[in-house]
Amino acid sequence: MGWKTLDDMDLQGKRVLTRVDINVPMEDGRVTDATRIDRIVPTITDIRAKGGSPVLLAHFGRPKGQPSAELSLAQLVPDLEAAFGCPVIFVERPSRDFIDAQTSDAVILVENTRFSAMEEANAPEMAGFLATLGDVYCNDAFSAAHRAHASTAGVAAHLPSCAGRLMQAELQALEAALSNPKRPVGAVVGGAKVSTKLDLLENLVKKIDVLIIGGGMANTFIAAQGAQMGASLQEADLHDTARAILAAAQEAGCRVILPSDGRVSRAFAAGAPHDIIPLNADTVLEDDQMVLDAGDAAASDIAAAFAELKTLIWNGPLGAFEIAPFDTATVSAAKAAAQRTASGDLITVAGGGDTVAALNQAGVADDFTYISTAGGAFLEWMEGKELPGVAALMT
């Protein structure tokens, strides 16, 4: 694939500069979701097992180049120690002398890289300084790989570089899902707005066999065909774009599935009264009616499409999954995909914050082949864009 992994590196006695993503949610000084910490444990464990000492680089929040006590990585030390099963040495102002004074298997955590404005500017001075802190560079932060920052791209030019276990898993999963998939390959693309996923849709229709569109995005496509969608979320200024995407899909031989029916309500609220109505070019909703979810027929159509696929990529929910009953289609489709995955008939790769939340709500997150921890990086990879943090690892 053009990049090395920890298996390719001699780490004995080396200080391994390791970029991780531990930008975890916190409330009242406590970590509320340690998933990102848990997922870097294999990399830390393997570096130490190979005789190396991890020197962790990470960002936290958006300090805008200024130190902030509230965004200090020092507060994560207890959680990191619990996950790693060893002490973590925190250093605010690192130097190579300080690092070399620690034991050969020490885990060292450097203060928030974004406390310096040079980080996000990818300043050569900062990349060069960071390189002095290690002998090998390991990037395990795929979720930050779409940023050309000093700690994600710049430093890789100065040291022998490789992907950590999480980065490796992300890249292999995406390679299997999009670059070299088992066919037929399909994608579920949902969410609120077409405008946020134009590049994604334009790239996917050229590479996949079936495209399933859901959420508010689907409303825009249905309206573009002539439907009057009432108060439904949709982007009237993108009707021409939607039609162009459908034409490009047809030309590329990609079948597009839009909801054949939808759950319609006059209130965006949990338990709101609703009807299931057909959705097509002739649909006419009243001014206060909204499509908030795909209907039962649409869910059946999606499950039938899954039965024909070998690979499925999922990004975005099919409706307002945060509130019942408008989570019905998302949950139904997620369970159908999970069942096919469990039987060994389907490779499923999902990513994006709302997607992960929706799959967790459906209780099937653990049943998918791979769930990406990345948001923007996952989306940009699917859009076909080069990720600076990945490109920097290429040999």
Which among 136, 97, 165 is positioned nearest to 15, based on CA atoms? 136
Cα–Cα distance list, 59 to 96, 118, 144, 152, 263 (Å): 20, 13, 9, 11, 41
Q: Is 53 helix (H, G, I), strand (E, B) or coil?
A: strand
Burial (CB < 10 A; 0-12, 13-18, 19+), residue 154, is: buried
Pick the catalytic residue from 51, 128, 375, 376: 376
Pick the catalytic residue from 193, 266, 310, 335: 193
Q: Is 193 a catalytic residue?
A: yes
Give yes or no for a cis peptide into 181 (omega within 30° of 0). no
Alpha helix ranges (H) inside 155-238: 165-174, 198-204, 215-224
Pick the catalytic residue from 226, 253, 271, 353: 353
Q: Where do we find the tokens 């009707």?
A: 239
With residue 77 as reference, give the H or E element that holds it.
helix 77-84
Q: Is 36 a catalytic residue?
A: yes
183: left (phi over 0), alpha (psi -120 to 50) or beta: beta
Q: Is 62 a catalytic residue?
A: no
Pick the catalytic residue from 15, 19, 36, 48: 36
In angstroms, the CA 310 to CA 198 distance is 25
Just list the catalytic residues: 36, 193, 353, 376
